[in-house]
Amino acid sequence: MENQNNVTEFVFMGLWGNKQMQLLFFFFFLLCYVVILMGNFIILLTITCSHLIEQPMYYFLCHLSLMDLCYTSTVVPRLIRDLVAARKNISYNNCMAQLFTAHLLAGVEILILVSMALDRYVAIVKPLHYMVLMNRRRCNMLVFMAWGVGFWHSVALLLVVLHLPFCGSNQIDHYICDVKPLLKLVCKDIHVVNILMTANSGMVVVAVFLVLVASYILILYNLRTCSSVGRRKALSTCSSHVMVVILFFVPCIYIYVLPAGSENKDKEVSVFYTVIAPMLNPLIYALRNMEMRIAMGKVWSKMTHSKFW
């Protein structure tokens, strides 16, 4: 028997039902989005207009900032609009498009973070072979691989969701179209689908997180043989990466490992990786990094000089 799908649009229930809270958070998320746009744009401009683009670490950071800009732009503008909208509706097709795009960009970002961890591992553990192992061709290959894996992950996810019947309520208890809130609206037994979704998203996130943790443990172990100056520099760089990884992965693990239907704080926790982490990434990488600050100053001076002359 064919699955019946009588839903043509979904209605978001949003983060909070309180109107005064919604207005307060409208200004908060608007400010966050402006900071995200400005911070990541400054990083992109600084890296692409300076010698830093030649270094693999900053090449990957450039792609990470681009992913943050694109990912938040698929989620945050609608969240801001819905906080003051009378009706928070989205068409079925737009919902599926948001689901696909958000998972594609998040998947690419996860693998960019893995590439950044690989870069730091090679730089610290095999410094003499660093320029050979992390040449531009290999860096490009890692970025293309990230897009390829992210694409297939999103396609697999979308194909499963498209075959699910939504024939009851159309109210999504969330502020974005994501797998778990959508599964709660399916009018059939989703036990098998839950297992597939947990394997597709949850277990992959956990596995990648464990790989990243293992890589940083190996890096810390190998820092014993470095000089005190080299150790401080490596620790400063790696601590920035670790903070970004924790901000992104811990909320993702909480959300995607637990099955749909569990009483948890999914939509509140998801704010951390959809808004907070992309906002803090530029601050973590730029303000804690002397090389970035120097490059920003040079790019700004060059732009100011060319403007007046």
Mean pLDDT of 214-240: 74
Mean pLDDT of 118-135: 87
pLDDT band for 1, please (50, 70, 90 cuts). very low
Mean pLDDT of 173-177: 89
Q: What is the mean pLDDT of the chain?
A: 84
pLDDT digits (tens, 9 = 90+) for 262-288: 566 788 888 888 999 899 888 887 776
Predicted structure pTM score: 0.88
State yes or no: pLDDT of 201 exceeds 90.
no
DSSP 53: G
Encode burial over 250-274: b for 16+ CB neighbours within 10 A, e otherwise: bbbbbbbeebbeeeeebbeebbbbb
pLDDT of 163:
85
Most confident of 77-86, 166-175, 250-259: 77-86
Q: Tell me how far apart the alpha carbons of residues 75 and 92 are, in angstroms, rounded to a whole number.
A: 16
174, 181 in Cβ contact below 8 A?
Answer: yes
**The tokens of 296 are what?**
């920003």
State yes or no: pLDDT of 114 exceeds 70.
yes
pLDDT of 230:
64
pLDDT of 65:
93
pLDDT digits (tens, 9 = 90+) for 245-256: 888 888 888 888
pLDDT of 83:
87
Q: Tell me how far apart the alpha carbons of residues 13 and 228 are, in angstroms, rounded to a whole number.
A: 53
67, 52 in Cβ contact below 8 A?
Answer: no
Q: Tell me how far apart the alpha carbons of residues 185 and 173 are, in angstroms, rounded to a whole number.
A: 10
Q: Tell me how far apart the alpha carbons of residues 83 and 265 are, in angstroms, rounded to a whole number.
A: 19
pLDDT digits (tens, 9 = 90+) for 186-199: 887 777 777 777 77
Residue 86, CB-side half-sphere exposure with 13 Å CA sphere: 0
pLDDT of 17:
65
pLDDT of 2:
47
pLDDT digits (tens, 9 = 90+) for 24-72: 889 999 999 999 999 999 999 999 988 889 999 999 999 999 999 999 9
- Sorted by where each starts, the structural domains of the chain and their CATH numbers stand as 9-301 (1.20.1070.10)
pLDDT of 33:
95
pLDDT of 305:
64
282, 293 in Cβ contact below 8 A?
Answer: no
